[in-house]
A and B are shown apart, each in its own frame.
Chain A
């Protein structure tokens, strides 16, 4: 793992004016991005991986391979397990004499997995997991409808973390794979790992600990209403692989050492404007970097060890110009996405509504075709025209089930919202059951910062592309276009 970086004296939060939308977004925001658990894992893994995440939109260092298939497989593993448990809760599935692979194939096919891939997935991940967990699954029943929750988002503006004799607070957000209220467990699930492992896969313990820290730092009124008497401090932390479960310790000195350093890296790469931050990141690269240690894995190895093509010859100019664009595109994401997240968690709910950042409504009905009818308690003068929204049918802005949705109809002060989230839908009872129904469900529109990340990623790809031979370069139109715009080649408008 990485060398440490001196902790910040304090985290750079947005000023009140910025939170209230009174600052015109422009240039360096002077406040840090709202960190995700993934950012902190990357910082612990390697500061260069974090730099690629923030500046180049590439966050797959931890996957060990640039192949997106691995991520899809991991997602499917988690989604299918959640689906099985949900089906048991809903009473739609009976386990006696049932072969779970019969459910798995149509489920995986829906996500575009072909027959061979499905077989492979079942054999390697699902099968071993089911075999281990069959008895546990048999105990799940409809009485668990308000006890098992999947894909729960957690976020806090101030997460207090131990530091020397005291503590420092930072913002943090992430998503918990499973919260099992009955057995008091927080579960992080992964397809990584092997049968013979004696420790959880790298960083998974740290990830679980960070998520738990965020959840247990929330005040009671920030939790979903029926969780307000639960002490999450007592919950067991589990990393679950297809082959084993690992219990994670609450106290691990290395977590505490690493976390402050991680926040410092996030700050410095994002907003410090230090000219040498990139160099510092490379100087502090992980000792587990495959460039230094070929036995190790990193999904970004091909980026760090990219080929230096001689053409285009204007690459130094391209690199220089793109370098500033990467930074601006990150600042754009901070103004657009991070500020929104800070506002959601810091401003009073009334102010969020007043500023048009969220709408709140009472869920009137939730039909099987994924439609939610929401009654808004104020005049709906406009919905801002966005096509996609995030609705939190269960929980609060701090902790709850975030689901993507589309507005399908407005009827007076009622909205019909159609859920479009891929993955596991909470059961109707989980949304409508009186005990757990919130008095209101927030509806919001998350800024599309993925577009800036996509742009960053594309720019890096172009910057690192090229040709070795001059002849080849001359025949490649895109290389010649770059030479003409960034280099000395003449650029003409054509014809007369």
Chain B
């Protein structure tokens, strides 16, 4: 088993003071003198909340004899991301295992084991033993019963709590109520303004973090120094935070403030001669933020199976921009820059993927925003997809009425999440006519005046690579 004690100590030492305080709190355990210690870390994008979770879990596993960590997330994607973070720190698949419900997924080398909820599908007793001996087990909250079958005294860390409703959280706790269980600590990590609890019931919407804040006079650990985005991208994100009434604004660490794609730490070289003149300004690394108005493109959005939405022409333009980016940006080893392409709509993601049929690598870069939560990328291109005469933007403009749910931002959070994934370059495509008049986009476009290059897409750009 690979034990990365030195690296963990070093990373903790390098953490900022807010992160160190949060780690210390998470390691404190639940028993205070007269109170219950329940650390909640409010960490906006790029501020290192998963780093806090992973370092805490690692330190706990290294120092504590029981070595039991239940690291829980809302989605399998987030669970996989957490597993990668542990591996990056030096843990191996003997120590860190992600448990899933998908029995066809079983790879001990990669640390992914699909099994039944009672682990009985693992018919070889040695397999159950291997899981029991792994100090760090990761799963979704729904699937956490698998962890609690083998870990009876874990430190329970829930990552990305914005998606976790109180009902799901407490339902998860029900799995550890019999006498053999007694978790040694509980913690929540997340940004209450990121992707929301999805439900038709307004009173189930406040996530577990907000639920606690509302019931108790509780001030979470705040992380406000971000290490991800160029300050212009951060400026756009702060505009969205303002629209969402999320305060305070994020501060950019000096290491990223002016970091473009060609900065040595991101390490790309741009050759403007390798892209068409029309796209040179858009791709120029000195324009970290670009907003493209798609009003001039032909046609409008379409509705598809699964009630999703797609807009073919915006998809084609994205494909063209991404292809030019691949051609004109290389890293020092001559490898192309693969931009990540995000859309709130799965149908749009699929259309774009289909256009990349010849290029498997670019196909892999197309994601829904949901799948990108918790991740960061050098370059992000976003297709907001909606274009219609009725200015309808569906869930992207969802607002809630009534004091009882004040502060709930719902699916609008997708815009905030998408924009905050980018490190050195962010390209946004949207129809101004459709999106203007919606609060978040008004804030975004206002901030774009100071922070972004604003461009009107030309009709012919759709067919530029045909």
Contacts and interface: CB of A to CB of B under 8 A. Distances in A.
Contacts of A124: none
Contact of A490 (B36, B173, B174): B36
B304 A458 contact: no
Given A357-B307, A477-B30, A484-B38, A112 B218 contact: no
Given A356-B305, A357-B307, A455-B168, A495 B24 contact: yes
Nearest to B401: A26
Contacts of B350: 381-383, 385
B219 A384 contact: no
A492 B308 contact: no
A492 B200 contact: no
A455 B121 CA distance: 23
A356 B199 contact: no
A489 B35 contact: yes
B356 to A, nearest CB: 14
A166 interface: no
A483 interface: yes
Interface in B1-53: 21-22, 24-26, 28, 30-32, 34-40
Contact of B347 (A329, A358, A384, A451): A384
A310 to B, nearest CB: 15
B35 A461 contact: no
A35 to B, nearest CB: 20
Nearest to A324: B203
B142 A459 contact: no
B150 interface: no
A21 to B, nearest CB: 7
B220 to A, nearest CB: 6
Interface stretch (B105-113, B177-185, B323-331): B177-185
A489 B351 CA distance: 53
Interface in B421-435: none
Contact of A356 (B181, B185, B220, B307): B307
A462 B204 contact: no
Given A484-B35, A491-B216, A382 B310 contact: yes
Contact of B218 (A380, A480, A481, A493): A493
A261 B183 CA distance: 46
A461 B184 contact: no
A25 interface: yes
Contact of B346 (A329, A336, A385, A454): A385
Nearest to B217: A491
B204 A325 contact: yes
Interface string B201-224: 111100000001001101111000
Contacts of A491: 35-36, 38, 212, 216, 218
Contacts of B181: 478
A45 interface: no
A97 interface: no
A459 B174 contact: yes
Contacts of B201: 26-27, 328-329, 331-332
A359 interface: yes
A469 to B, nearest CB: 12
Contacts of A202: none
Contacts of A336: 200
Contact of B38 (A382, A462, A492): A492
A481 B120 CA distance: 31
A332 B200 contact: yes
Interface in B394-408: none
Contacts of A489: 35-36
A311 B216 CA distance: 20
A356 B345 CA distance: 14
Interface in A429-453: 445, 451
B167 A381 contact: no
B216 A329 contact: no
The interface size bin for chain B is: 35 or more
B176 interface: yes
B388 to A, nearest CB: 16
A478 B304 contact: no
B456 interface: no
A383 B203 contact: no
A302 to B, nearest CB: 13
Interface string A373-410: 00000001111111000000000000000000000000
B200 A331 contact: yes
Interface string B301-326: 01111111010000000000000000
Contacts of A346: none
Contacts of A230: none
A336 B32 CA distance: 43
Contacts, number: 184
B186 interface: yes
A286 to B, nearest CB: 27
A462 B174 contact: yes
Contacts of B347: 381-382, 384-385
A150 interface: no
A355 B310 CA distance: 14
Contacts of A26: 200-202
Contact of A454 (B40, B171, B200, B215): B171
Given A25-B200, A382-B347, A493 B219 contact: yes
Nearest to B354: A410
A465 B121 CA distance: 28
Nearest to A339: B200
A493 B38 contact: yes
Residue picked from A324, A356, A380, most chain B C-beta under 10 Å: A356
Interface in B213-267: 215-216, 218-221
Contact of B304 (A328, A332, A381): A381
Nearest to B181: A478
A485 interface: yes
A490 B28 CA distance: 16
Given A383-B305, A385-B349, A477-B184, A494 B171 contact: no
A357 B25 CA distance: 48
Contacts of B32: 490, 492, 494
B175 interface: yes
Contact of B306 (A445, A454, A455): A445
Contacts of B22: 495
A355 B351 contact: no
Given A475-B182, A481-B30, A382 B308 contact: yes
B414 interface: no
Nearest to A26: B200
B305 A478 contact: no
Nearest to B218: A491
B368 interface: yes
Interface string B339-375: 0000000110111000000000000000010000000
A332 B174 contact: no
A52 to B, nearest CB: 15
B174 A384 contact: no
A381 B310 contact: yes
A332 B182 contact: no
A408 to B, nearest CB: 12
Contacts of A219: none
B220 A493 contact: yes
15 contacts: A324-B203, A384-B347, A386-B306, A445-B306, A461-B174, A462-B173, A462-B177, A477-B30, A477-B185, A485-B216, A491-B212, A493-B25, A493-B218, A495-B25, A495-B221
Counting from the closest, the 6 A-B pairs by CB-CB distance are A384-B306, A458-B171, A494-B25, A382-B347, A490-B35, A484-B36
Given A328-B203, A465-B174, A465-B178, 12 more contacts: A26-B202, A336-B200, A355-B303, A380-B305, A381-B347, A382-B347, A455-B171, A462-B177, A477-B30, A481-B30, A486-B215, A493-B221
